[in-house]
């Protein structure tokens, strides 16, 4: 095979692998093999009313979900070849809304480090005073960084 063919096949496989649909419910301790990191994102509702969440990326629309108090939405994916994977989310709570980037390069530093066996985790909590991120569980507010407000 020509070198160009080999490179083409390699790139084709890499891109195709990463275009696979997002797994919506990560099973604990199941880390997928990725070219770069495997990520798991959790969004927890800490508001006593139900909220609406809709997560999207360029390729995926995870749909409109209602989260009651302490319920979460979670999904996992492989970081893409160019490290440009981006998810954003649209939130609704009574008359308030928020729309922001849930995952991209700027969010990485707030997330967990992961390891050979563990996926990298980003935890979001939704509170009545805004949106907070952390890399591991800790009682609020220790280790949580406020990222956005409701509007």
Q: Which is nearer to ligand NAG, 17 or 74 (CB)?
A: 74
Q: How far is the CB of 143 from ligand NAG (least distance, A)?
A: 19
Q: How many residues lie near ligand NAG (CB under 6 A)?
A: 4
Binding status of residue 74 toward ligand NAG by CB under 6 A: yes
CA dihedral 93, 147, 114, 46 (to 10 degrees): -30
CA–CA dist 120, 114 (Å, integer): 4
Task: Find the binder of ligand NAG among 32, 54, 72, 104 (CB under 6 A).
Answer: 72
Owner of token pair 């890399």: 135
Residues 25-54 that bind ligand NAG (CB under 6 A): 25
CA–CA dist 60, 76 (Å, integer): 12
Q: How far is the CB of 72 from ligand NAG (least distance, A)?
A: 5
Residues 108-147 that bind ligand NAG (CB under 6 A): none
Q: How far is the CB of 97 from ligand NAG (least distance, A)?
A: 22
Q: Which is nearer to ligand NAG, 17 or 72 (CB)?
A: 72
Q: In sequence order, what DSSP letters do the residues of 83-130 get, joined into one string?
A: S---EEEEEEETTEEEEEEEESTTTGGGS----SSS-EEEEEEEETTE
CA–CA dist 90, 54 (Å, integer): 5
Residues in contact with ligand NAG by the rule CB under 6 A: 24-25, 72, 74
């Amino acid at each position: 095979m020509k070198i160009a063919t080999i490179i083409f096949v390699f790139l084709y496989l890499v891109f195709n692998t990463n275009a696979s649909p997002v797994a919506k419910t990560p099973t604990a301790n199941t880390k997928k093999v990725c070219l770069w990191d495997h990520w798991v994102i959790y969004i927890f509702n800490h508001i006593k009313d139900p909220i609406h969440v809709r997560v999207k990326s360029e390729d995926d629309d995870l749909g409109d979900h209602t989260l009651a108090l302490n319920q979460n939405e979670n999904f996992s994916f492989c970081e893409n070849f160019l490290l440009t994977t981006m998810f954003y989310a649209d939130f609704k709570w009574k008359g308030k809304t928020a729309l922001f980037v849930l995952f991209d390069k700027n969010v990485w530093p707030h997330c967990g480090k992961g390891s050979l066996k563990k996926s990298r985790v980003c935890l979001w909590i939704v509170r009545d005073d805004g949106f907070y991120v952390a890399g591991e569980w800790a009682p609020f507010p220790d280790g949580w960084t406020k990222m956005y407000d409701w509007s």
